[in-house]
Amino acid sequence: MCGRTACTLAPDEVSRACSYRSRGGQRRQPRWREGDADKYRPSYNKSPQSMSPVLLSHRHFDKTAPVDECVLASMRWGLVPAWFKENDPSKMKYSTNNCRSENILEKKTYKDPLIKGQRCVILADGFYEWRRQEKDKQPFFIYFPQTKGTSEEKTEDDPMTSTRNKENSETACPPELASPDLTQGGEPGEWTGWKLLTMAGLFDCWTPPGGGEPLYTYSVITVNASKNLESIHDRMPAVLDGEEEVRRWLDFGDVKSLDALKLLQSKNSLTFHPVSSLVNNSRNNSPECLQPVDLNSKKEPKPTASSKMMMSWLKSSAPSKRKDPDTGESPEEKEIKAEAQSKSAGGLQQWLQGANKKPRTK
């Protein structure tokens, strides 16, 4: 299943992070649907019913758009079918946050959008999952390995404490190789910041029976967990790995539904690390939610290549336009308050909001 995600990029960064090649070979950045960039709020701890960035074919909104043109939209997590008759979508008596790939053709809620070609890609830094233990649950953050760099940068003291994921975790790149900007050398327009997780989904558009603004919502498609994740949970999101899989999933004109469903496979392409139980409460929304923890020690783990990569990205990719989802404050505004609250602030928070922190320049 997938019940919590993180997406910390600002709207313009999301656009650059999911750039794609047109059929003519040109790299393009998808534009936000008008007004939708303002509906999306970056978050370290995003739960169902919140708005998330979604990539889809522009033809869903404009029948004259080029067949290969993509657009970004903000959609609410938890699909509300177009045929729902109540005036309040919260009155739905069943959960549609996830839909099982095996049952898509058996349930009208998902079959109708699939037949209409309403396929989308949900974008996130990664997602959280909980492993059941004797008395509680241990949360993990799961994401694409950040593979910029060479094997020489691999480290032996990776913070991923599980032996099962050591092979995957070693691909995470050191912070000095991770840039939040587009490349200046090589091919123009190529994003070299955090590689966003691309999850297959279905969306629908519901309009209140009495009239009103249409509501776009989505459901994350899930499959059986891959070998390296099944020790955490038996299900995982259907991950689209690479531009070609994303293109085929979104191309509802040339790629028919049954062929698109073949893309929904369990893949050993994700890595993970344990995180603090802070993420258990969806009201907690801070960088600590993503920080790797050492399950064998009560002390804060020593920063290593992978954890430095994560923390460097959180620290260096926070432009002033990125507002806190709860307070509406920019990092600079929060920094002033943090100095007055340094006694109660956690170690990571002080690290990220310290006096020497410099905003990223473009």
Q: Tell me, what CATH number does 83's domain have?
A: 3.90.1680.10
Q: Is pLDDT at 245 greater than 80 in this prediction?
A: yes
pLDDT at 189: 62
Percent of the chain with pLDDT over 70: 70
Q: Is residue 167 part of a domain?
A: yes
pLDDT recorded at residue 313: 62
Query: How many distinct structural domains can be found in the chain?
Result: 1
Instruction: Kindly state the average pLDDT of the residues 216-232.
Output: 95
The larger pLDDT score, comparing residue 240 to residue 149, is at 240
Average pLDDT score, the chain: 78
Per-residue pLDDT for 283 more than 70?
A: yes
Residue 345 lies in a domain: no
**Whole-prediction pTM value?**
0.76
Q: Nearest-5° angle of CA 282, CA 284, CA 288?
A: 125
294-339 pLDDT tens trace: 888 755 545 545 555 666 666 665 544 444 444 444 444 444 344 4
Half-sphere exposure of 107 (CA within 13 A, CB side): 15
Mean pLDDT of 229-240: 95
Tell me whether residue 346 is in a domain: no
Residues designated as active site = 2, 129
Q: Is residue 239 part of a domain?
A: yes
188 found inside a domain: yes
In this predicted structure, the answer to whether residue 80 has a pLDDT above a threshold of 70 is: yes
The tokens describing 81, both together, are 């079918």
Give pLDDT, residue 199.
98
The parent domain of residue 79 ranges over 5-317
Residues paired with residue 100 on neighbouring β-strands, in sequence order: 222
Report how far residue 187's alpha carbon sits from residue 190's, in angstroms, rounded to the nearest whole number. Answer: 6
3-state secondary structure 254-269: CCCHHHHHCCCCCCCC
What is the pLDDT averaged over residues 221-242? 95
Task: Indicate if the pLDDT at residue 181 is higher than 60.
Answer: no
SS (H, E, C) 69-138: CEEEEEEEECCCCCCCCCCCHHHCCCCCCEEEHHHHHHCHHHHHHHHCCCEEEEEECEEEEEEECCCCEE
